[in-house]
Amino acid sequence: MARKPAVCVAMSGGVDSAVVAWMLAHRGYDVVGVTMQIWQESQTDPRHSGCCSLGAVEDARRSARAIGIPHYVIDFKDAFKRTVIDEFVEEYTKGRTPNPCVTCNRDVKFDALLTKALELGCDYLATGHYARVRRGEPRHRLLRSKGGHKDQSYALYAMTQEQLSRVMFPLGEIGDKAVTRQMARDAGLPVANKPDSQEICFVSVAGGYREFLRKARPQAFEQGELVDTAGRVVGQHEGVAGFTVGQRRGVGIAVGRPLYVISIQPETNRVVVGDVEDLMRDRVNLRGVHWSGFTAERAPMKVNAKIRYNMEAVPATLYEDHLVFDLPVKAVTPGQIAVAYRGETVVAGGTII
């Protein structure tokens, strides 16, 4: 009987990746667990409890021991800082709102880690993402997870054809975190009841991302003017890096009605505020568009698209470098990601400009 392929499982210390390792080991694959060491010197504080933190590494090690697979920690600190953290700080300084998980998937997990897994002799890299891959000709396709209860295809839109040929997402066939947790309990995994991490993995729970940015780039927190959409000064702010388009809480002025951040202008150190109607847009311009399940030659094409992770995809037309929504959408945020779908298939995605 031919052996099944060798699979490197990226174990973050959470329940999802632990269940993936357990599933593949019990299916007869040659499984090795790997945790990326990405924390920086300032992150030895126990309040850092996100994926791949010091505590998470120990959780991954305990899970691997329970499953009976080898486990290794590989140093990706420099790559993580150079790509994810530096971009995070730079984007906020420029008035944009980045998605560090998308950057980590693109530049670290499915680039640097996949390369390392292949160098180690593994055939595939598996992760705990809720998505699916359909391999075939002429293109491999990234799909939503089954069921729709939990889907992370949005954060994986930038995967290349070569990467799609080498990854496994077993949880995409489940699509339900409650089912995953029950599998972990049945398997006796020590992380079965571990809470999900809700924070940015390199940001302290205590200080939040604004405190992180304040330490990294204090000049982005110089006081400036709050202006309305007509350019009239209506107040003062404490730094452009503390705002994101669509934000309502923390605007810092009271005028008898809700005010929202409409745009951020770091070049003049101004933040523009206005009414909710001022947030509505039907056109979304994109940079770095990556075509996944289809090619750019198919544009323009009718799709369903979303401009943030937790948004339901709605009808739009996708062009080579922009989307036009059938109905205006709220709070188009520079730096965030727009992803387009046809049915279950990821068509393309890009960064909002």
Active centre residues (catalytic): 104, 201
Instruction: Kindly list the distances between the CA atom of residue 317 and the CA atoms of 217, 298, 339, in Å, as whole numbers in the listed order.
Output: 38, 11, 12
Tokens of 275: 């009414």
Query: Which amino acid, one-letter code, is at 310?
Result: N
Span between the terminal Cα atoms of the chain, in Å: 53
Q: What is the DSSP string of 140-186?
A: -EEEEPSSSSS--GGGGTT--HHHHTTEE-GGGGT--HHHHHHHHHH
* Cα Rg of the chain, angstroms: 21
Rounded Cα–Cα distance for residues 77 and 129 (Å):
22
> Is 104:84 a contact under the CB 8 Å cutoff?
yes
SS3 at position 56: helix
What CA–CA distance (Å, rounded) separates 64 from 209? 31
Which tokens sit at 245?
Answer: 């388009």
Rounded Cα–Cα distance for residues 120 and 30 (Å): 13
Q: Which stretch of DSSP H or E encloses residue 211?
A: helix 208-216
Task: Report how far residue 184's alpha carbon sits from residue 121's, in angstroms, rounded to the nearest whole number.
Answer: 28
Q: State the burial class of residue 198 (Cβ atoms within 10 Å of its Cβ: 0-12, 13-18, 19+).
A: exposed
Backbone phi and psi for residue 202, each to the nearest 5 degrees, phi listed first: -100, 10
